[in-house]
Amino acid sequence: AQKVTQAQTEISVVEKEDVTLDCVYETRDTTYYLFWYKQPPSGELVFLIRRNSFDEQNEISGRYSWNFQKSTSSFNFTITASQVVDSAVYFCALSEANFGNEKLTFGTGTRLTIIP
Amino acid sequence: DVKVTQSSRYLVKRTGEKVFLECVQDMDHENMFWYRQDPGLGLRLIYFSYDVKMKEKGDIPEGYSVSREKKERFSLILESASTNQTSMYLCASSLRAGQRQPQHFGDGTRLSIL
């Protein structure tokens, strides 16, 4: 069975600090997809990134970067120079590649608070 | 942009009532999903559908049913609401079956069962 663990329940940092959100996953499949979503106080989940298991290249998008390491089954998310607008709950999620099974397994989320 | 619209933002119902939560997407997506979100538990999948009139159970289908008569609309039904179904309910859709496209979410319905 697939599982996603986000061990950090809540994190608070002062604005402009860097912060890393951890995500560790478990799956028996060799082909799978990993996702990060952001849930601001308004409630709607916003898609941030998708990564498949064959692509271990790290990704950078502005102040956001993701570090995918299959050896440690981790897909960590770093925000550089954090801003108040980054305050949200962040979810990591995993989807195995079985056709017809589009199920996403979510972690329990990390609540990030950026202190002005 | 994809728009997933849930019929109510807040809903209060009584124990034993039959409750309908409606979700509509406007981008011709094949897949639609219903999740519930509870503190400390993250999002858990209730049901999903990859085509009209097709449905698959998720992790926690007990006490729920779904209906998908049209491609754009996916309804979640609580047959006889109970207090342990008080939760935030999130609907999502994604483009094509088998492609693991990102799921797009609605704003959620916060349901209280009294």
Contacts of B88 (CB under 8 A, 6+ apart): A43, B36, B37, B38, B108, B109, B110, B111
Q: A64-98: per-residue pLDDT in tens?
A: 999 999 999 999 999 999 999 999 999 999 987 66
Mean pLDDT over all residues of chain A? 92
A48 touches chain B (CB under 8 A): no
pLDDT score of B97: 65
B54 touches chain A (CB under 8 A): no
Q: B3-21: per-residue pLDDT in tens?
A: 899 989 999 999 999 999 9
Which comes out higher in pLDDT, residue B34 or A29? B34
If we measure between CA atoms, which residue out of A65, A67, A63, A66 comes closest to residue A82? Answer: A63
pLDDT score of A29: 86
Q: Which two tokens stand for residue A38?
A: 């952001």
* Interface with chain A: mutation pick from B32, B50, B105, B107, highest number of A CBs within 10 Å: B105
Q: B39-52: per-residue pLDDT in tens?
A: 889 999 999 998 89
If we measure between CA atoms, which residue out of B107, B63, B85 comes closest to residue B13? Answer: B85
pLDDT band, residue A99 (cuts 50/70/90): low
For chain A, the C-alpha Rg in angstroms (whole number) is 14
Contacts of B114 (CB under 8 A, 6+ apart): B12, B13, B14, B15, B83
* Interface with chain A: mutation pick from B25, B57, B99, B103, highest number of A CBs within 10 Å: B103
Which comes out higher in pLDDT, residue B102 or A16? A16
Identify the helix (H) or strand (E) that includes residue A12. Answer: strand A10-14
pLDDT score of A31: 87
Low-confidence winner among A36-45, A93-102, B105-114 (lowest mean pLDDT)? A93-102
pLDDT score of A63: 95
pLDDT score of A42: 85
Residues in chain A closer than 8 A to B101 (CB atoms) = 50
pLDDT at residue B68 tops 80 = yes
* Mean pLDDT to the nearest integer, B30-47: 93
What 8-state DSSP symbol labels residue A115?
Answer: E
If we measure between CA atoms, which residue out of B72, B64, B71 comes closest to residue B21? Answer: B64
Q: B71-108: per-residue pLDDT in tens?
A: 999 999 999 999 999 999 999 998 876 667 888 999 99
